[in-house]
């Protein structure tokens, strides 16, 4: 990489969206450069799948595959096709002039004609050492019930959900398909969720709510065995046996490094054009969980990564940049290559 010669495309991130964009861009001879990030707390290169032990809902894997293995394989596919990788976080970007400037933590800045932002969204955790340890080692703590709840590990057990918003309600309802009982733990005496979602939870025969309660410790060494709770009103403590904990208190999009240059929603997710990945800045695209506060699935992230690469490739071709021309039919060379 060179600061004097602009890159065709720089991809920031390393989850399903980023590596899928890299695969498509590499196969179009765009010589993509990926900044995959570096470990910071619970955030690892590879995204939230790095905290998932078994994935059963990603197409092409009839037998479960672990999150880290899936990310390793997708990254290897991108590298196989010519993707270059820098294992650094990007600390800032300058999108005010072309070519754009991307500045990583340690290396020199690079410039690029197009940029794909696929930095994901970080799950909010309670913040307990025991919680993070069990989440990292696949011990029954998760931030995504739809991703993990159907796994055999959680079936026919009492499962706990922490949270009081719509996401927590959705997670709790989903888990009722597999759990013997779902216990919703909320630190207040009423939910923040919409009345419709709250009523579904409150009237479900498999759901029990512990009001005015907060988790102070996750019990278990290799696998979760229970939770220690504290009453938020009188301070008393108690314990409950559970076979799984799902933390549903929200996500934070990883967009701070953008410095407000990209339009975002009120919750910080990057805004893109309908059914597109283009942002308010021409030549800058966004994909994956950084634009998605609804689905948050590996397969939907991968799909938007594909879309971002296609859009970037077509923008480059339209401006006579890069090696992948647009065909007379208007079909991109990337799309044709996959047929």
Active site residue 289: no
Within a domain: residue 2? no
pLDDT of residue 323: 61
Report in angstroms the alpha-carbon separations of 321 from 3, 114, 175, 283.
17, 10, 49, 12
Q: How confident is the model at residue 95 (pLDDT cuts 50, 70, 90)?
A: very high
pLDDT of residue 54: 77
| Rounded-to-integer distance, Cα 4 and Cα 270, Å | 29
The verdict on 136 and 239 lying in the same domain is yes
**Which among 123, 140, 106 is positioned nearest to 225, based on CA atoms?**
140
Give the number of domains in the chain: 2
Q: Is the pLDDT of residue 24 over 90?
A: yes
Active site residue 293: no
Give the largest Cα separation in the chain, rounded.
Answer: 72
Range(s) of the domain holding residue 99: 7-122+251-337
Q: What's the whole-number mean pLDDT along residues 322-336?
A: 46
Work out the percent of the chain whose per-residue pLDDT is above 70: 93
**225, 130 Cβ separation under 8 angstroms:** no
pLDDT of residue 147: 84
The verdict on 238 and 265 lying in the same domain is no
Within a domain: residue 1? no
**169, 149 Cβ separation under 8 angstroms:** no
Report in angstroms the alpha-carbon separations of 96 from 203, 210, 229, 282.
53, 50, 50, 11
Exactly one of 147, 289, 292, 306 is catalytic; name it.
Answer: 147
Q: What is the pLDDT of residues 68-81, one digit of tens each?
A: 899 999 999 999 99
Angle between helices 16-27 and 298-318 (to 10 degrees): 40
Higher pLDDT, 297 or 1: 297
Q: What is the pLDDT of residues 200-251, one digit of tens each?
A: 999 999 999 999 999 999 999 999 999 999 999 999 999 999 999 999 998 8
Exactly one of 144, 289, 292, 306 is catalytic; name it.
Answer: 144
Within a domain: residue 89? yes
The verdict on 118 and 257 lying in the same domain is yes
Active site residue 144: yes
Place of tokens 């969980």: 289
**Cβ-count burial of 96 within 10 angstroms (0-12 exposed, 13-18 middle, 19+ buried)?**
exposed
CATH number at residue 181: 3.50.50.60
pLDDT of residue 230: 97
Token code pair at residue 312: 């970037």
Which 8-state DSSP code applies to residue 333?
H
| Rounded-to-integer distance, Cα 25 and Cα 32, Å | 6
| Rounded-to-integer distance, Cα 245 and Cα 108, Å | 42
The verdict on 118 and 165 lying in the same domain is no
pLDDT of residue 49: 83
- Please give the mean pLDDT across all residues of the chain: 91
Q: How confident is the model at residue 336 (pLDDT cuts 50, 70, 90)?
A: very low
Exactly one of 72, 94, 148, 231 is catalytic; name it.
Answer: 148
Q: What is the pLDDT of residues 302-324, one digit of tens each?
A: 999 999 999 999 999 999 997 64
Domain termination site, one of 218, 247, 276: 247
pLDDT of residue 250: 87
Token code pair at residue 310: 């296609």
């Amino acid at each position: 990489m060179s600061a004097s010669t602009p890159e065709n495309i720089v991809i920031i991130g390393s989850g399903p969206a980023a590596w899928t964009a890299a695969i498509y861009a590499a196969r179009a001879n765009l010589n993509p450069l990926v900044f995959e990030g570096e470990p910071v707390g619970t955030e690892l290169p590879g995204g939230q799948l790095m905290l998932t032990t078994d994935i059963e809902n990603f197409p092409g894997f009839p037998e479960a595959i672990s999150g880290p293995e899936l990310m390793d394989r997708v990254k290897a596919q991108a590298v196989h096709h010519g993707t270059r990788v820098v294992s650094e976080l990007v600390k800032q970007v300058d999108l005010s002039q072309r070519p754009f400037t991307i500045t990583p933590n340690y290396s020199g800045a690079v410039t690029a004609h197009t940029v794909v932002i696929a930095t994901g969204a970080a799950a909010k955790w309670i913040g307990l050492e025991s919680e993070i340890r069990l989440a990292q080692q696949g011990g029954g703590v998760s931030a995504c019930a739809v991703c993990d709840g159907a796994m055999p590990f959680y079936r026919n057990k009492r499962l706990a959900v922490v949270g009081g918003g719509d996401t927590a309600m959705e997670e709790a309802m989903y888990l009722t398909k597999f759990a013997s009982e779902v216990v919703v733990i909320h630190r207040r005496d009423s939910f923040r969720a919409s009345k419709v979602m709250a009523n579904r939870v409150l009237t479900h025969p498999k759901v029990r709510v512990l009001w005015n309660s907060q988790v102070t410790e996750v019990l278990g060494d290799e696998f979760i065995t229970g939770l220690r709770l504290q009453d938020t009103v009188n301070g008393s403590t108690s314990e409950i046996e559970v076979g799984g904990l799902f933390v549903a208190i929200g996500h934070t999009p990883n967009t701070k490094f953008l410095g407000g240059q990209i339009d975002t929603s009120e919750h910080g997710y990057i805004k893109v054009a309908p059914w597109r990945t283009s942002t308010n800045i021409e030549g800058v695209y966004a994909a994956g969980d950084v634009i998605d506060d609804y689905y948050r699935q590996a397969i939907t992230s991968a799909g938007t990564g594909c879309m971002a690469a296609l859009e970037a490739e077509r923008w480059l071709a339209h401006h006579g940049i890069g090696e992948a021309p647009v065909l007379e039919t208007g079909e991109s060379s990337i799309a044709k290559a996959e047929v």
